[in-house]
Amino acid sequence: MPNQVLPLSKPTPAPEITVVIPVFNEEDNLGELGERLVRTLTAMGRPYEIIFVDDGSTDRSWQLLTDLNGQYPQYIRALQFHRNFGQHQAIFAGFQAARGRVMVTLDADLQNPPEEIPRLVAKLDEGYDTVGGWRENRQDSIFRRLPSQLVNYVMSRVTGIKLRDYGCMLRAYRREVVDSINRCQESSSFIPALANLFSHRVTEIPVGHAERERGTSKYSLIKLLRLNFDLMTGFSNLPIHLVGFMGVAIALLGFFLGLFLFIRRIFVGPEVEGVFTLFAILFVFVGLNTLGLALIGEYVGRIYREVRGRPRFVIRQTLGPES
């Protein structure tokens, strides 16, 4: 997919920390972001690399990334997509190129302060597999926050994956978790949810959040809906199960209506021209139809699950010789 790669100029010690950043038309933020990242990570005193993934930007972003790579060739790498594939695809690409033992994801818009990275990594060092950030004092408009709250509530219910803040991409993962993510073959997915699936110990810490000072949000309403639909269909079959329940409920209703009409006919006499009997029969058939639809949906859902090719299990430890 990437049609251009800026490599590191000279072989450096294998990085311990890899920071992956999706970039879509962020020309106003990249300069400051690069500076602050390099400053923060250098202060940590561990070998690191920063991978920017240009998700088909149409502004000067790639030019700026080329400059950053020239300025810090030992730390900064960049990949370029030839068109816009989406934030999560960009992170996938970054993960595949990453060499660190620890991966950190971060937005390019400086809303997640890069200075929080040491805290996330320190948490991983405590033995967690995944450390999520949740935005304390989120600095977005109410119109951006309310849908997010709804999403957080509905998604944790529907997918059974408990994330306090689905939208926060400031997160850190152990190499093993990212390896499992890399083995998935799905084309649309949601990285934090996948990571939770493959993690044994997960924790979440509050992280700072700043207003977007430059550039605008890259998520239109449609794009946001599509992302949440990916999350919903990628991690649960609940929607199709609901259709199934509905089918059964309608069919049962029809059956009991028929039963009621039958008993009524014995004791009271026939109702007007059998209209309601017809309704009862109709309901039974409509219900069965809906149920049939849900069954087909269930099979399609299962095929989808196979197609995604996610690892079916992840072995954490083995005792005795490994074959």
Q: Minimum distance between the CB of residue 83 and Mg ion, rounded to whole angstroms?
A: 21
CA distances to 51, 52, 73 from 38, in Å: 12, 13, 11
Residue 87 within binding range of Mg ion, rule CB under 5 A: no
Structure tokens at 281: 């029969």
Q: Minimum distance between the CB of residue 209 and Mg ion, rounded to whole angstroms?
A: 9
Residue 189 within binding range of Mg ion, rule CB under 5 A: no
Q: Contact, 7 vs 65, CB < 8 A? A: no
Q: Minimum distance between the CB of residue 228 and ligand UDP, rounded to whole angstroms?
A: 12
Q: Minimum distance between the CB of residue 203 and ligand UDP, rounded to whole angstroms?
A: 23
In angstroms, the CA 168 to CA 105 distance is 10
Q: Of 46 and 144, which CB lies nearer to ligand UDP in the complex structure?
A: 144
Q: Of 116 and 129, which CB lies nearer to Mg ion in the complex structure?
A: 116
Q: Of 84 and 188, which CB lies nearer to ligand UDP in the complex structure?
A: 84
Q: Minimum distance between the CB of residue 100 and Mg ion, rounded to whole angstroms?
A: 24
In angstroms, the CA 130 to CA 204 distance is 8
In angstroms, the CA 49 to CA 52 distance is 10
Q: C-alpha angle with apex 31: 29 to 32, nearest 5 degrees?
A: 70
Work out the burial of residue 266: count CB atoms within 10 Å of its CB; fewer than 13 is exposed, 13-18 middle, 19 or more buried. exposed
Q: Minimum distance between the CB of residue 236 and Mg ion, rounded to whole angstroms?
A: 26
Residue 109 within binding range of Mg ion, rule CB under 5 A: yes
Residue 18 within binding range of Mg ion, rule CB under 5 A: no
Handedness of CA 211, 131, 164, 88 (dihedral sign): positive
Q: Minimum distance between the CB of residue 36 and ligand UDP, rounded to whole angstroms?
A: 14
Binding segment (CB under 5 A) for Mg ion, from list 66-74, 106-114, 195-203, 286-294: 106-114
Q: Of 195 and 284, which CB lies nearer to ligand UDP in the complex structure?
A: 195
Binding segment (CB under 5 A) for Mg ion, from list 83-91, 102-110, 190-198, 236-244: 102-110
Residue 129 within binding range of Mg ion, rule CB under 5 A: no
Bridge partners (DSSP) of residue 134 are 206
Q: Of 174 and 218, which CB lies nearer to Mg ion in the complex structure?
A: 218
Q: Of 107 and 165, which CB lies nearer to Mg ion in the complex structure?
A: 107
In angstroms, the CA 168 to CA 220 distance is 17
18 binds, among ligand UDP, Mg ion, none (CB under 5 to 8 A by kind): none
Interacting residues toward ligand UDP by CB under 6 A: 22-24, 26, 55, 84, 86-87, 90, 107-109, 111, 167, 217-219
Work out the burial of residue 258: count CB atoms within 10 Å of its CB; fewer than 13 is exposed, 13-18 middle, 19 or more buried. middle
In angstroms, the CA 63 to CA 66 distance is 5
Q: Contact, 8 vs 50, CB < 8 A? A: no
22 binds, among ligand UDP, Mg ion, none (CB under 5 to 8 A by kind): ligand UDP
Q: Of 141 and 185, which CB lies nearer to Mg ion in the complex structure?
A: 141
Structure tokens at 114: 């890069």
Residue 111 within binding range of Mg ion, rule CB under 5 A: yes
DSSP string, 179-196: HHHHH---SS--HHHHHH
Judged by the rule CB under 5 A, the positions of this chain that interact with Mg ion are: 107, 109, 111
